[in-house]
Amino acid sequence: MHVLGIDIGGTGIKAAPVDVATGTLLADRQKIATPHPSTPGAVTDVVRELANSFGWSGAAGATFPGVITGGTVRTAANVDRSWIGTDASALFGKAIGTEVAVLNDADAAGIAEMTFGAGKGERGTVLMLTFGTGIGSALFTGGLLVPNTEFGHVEIRGKDAEKRASEHAKQQHGWGWKSWAARVDEFLHHMEALLSPDLIIVGGGISRESDKWVPLLSGIRAKIVPAALQNDAGIVGAAMAAAGVAVTR
């Protein structure tokens, strides 16, 4: 089955058609900068443009950087707050003329990694963390997703963790790998104390450079691995959600 996956982030919005049986992209992904302000209308215009760029009329799924229940946005930390209470599924569906499944962005990335990537076959507790504009999280136990965890908003030293340890924070403050990794390390120690995961998967665009910072992390009992699908995981997971594909195989 071929499904359009759309990954909405605080910085960019990406899309590509996906073969949900294999988790592979069927065309080069297209990316458009997230509009500012990132209001429902402005973001929906980008979603429509991306769908039109592929001439898409079939099933589609989309991620969103916030808590999603029943297709409705409940939180919006890194996009315009006017999203809160919006039925994103209905809004996107009307814009592109097809039913659109909507889920949390990190949950989508985690679903893809658990099915096709670094978490495949893992039955213990798995924590997926995506480092980008913020920090997204997805938690799995026994292969099942606990949705909408949003651990990037755990408070560390009086601030949301993502204000200290996201990729955006690294760029904003000009931190080198060592300085930034120390903040990521502190965050992971908090997560390990709370959840005792067997495996931690680190994703987002910065996972492409995992060799520069994962070796700097220390004292974490859990195994830490980069996302196999890297920054395509959200697109693949969104498509899988729309297709109703199982989380693990």
Looking at the structure, tell me whether residues 41 and 18 fall in a common domain: yes
Per residue in 84-104, pLDDT (tens digit) is 999 999 999 999 999 999 999
- What are 76's two structure tokens? 């919006």
Looking at the structure, tell me whether residues 189 and 238 fall in a common domain: no
Looking at the structure, tell me whether residues 37 and 51 fall in a common domain: yes
Q: Are strands 72-73 and 144-146 parallel, antiparallel or unpaired?
A: unpaired
Looking at the structure, tell me whether residues 195 and 182 fall in a common domain: yes
Output the pLDDT for position 190: 97
Give me the residues of the chain with pLDDT under 50, please.
Answer: 247-249
| Bridge partners for 139 per DSSP | 127, 146
Which amino acid makes up residue 163?
Answer: K
Looking at the structure, tell me whether residues 84 and 116 fall in a common domain: no
CB 137 within 8 A of CB 103: no
Looking at the structure, tell me whether residues 70 and 151 fall in a common domain: no
* Spatial distance between the Cα atoms of 180 and 167, rounded to a whole number of angstroms: 9
Cα-based distances in Å from 191 to 8, 198, 199, 222? 25, 12, 12, 10
* Spatial distance between the Cα atoms of 129 and 119, rounded to a whole number of angstroms: 12
Output the pLDDT for position 248: 40
Looking at the structure, tell me whether residues 156 and 57 fall in a common domain: no
Output the pLDDT for position 249: 36
| Domain span at 35 | 2-105+232-243
Q: Which residue has the tokens 């990521």?
A: 184
Question: Could you tell me the CATH number of the domain that includes residue 37?
Answer: 3.30.420.40
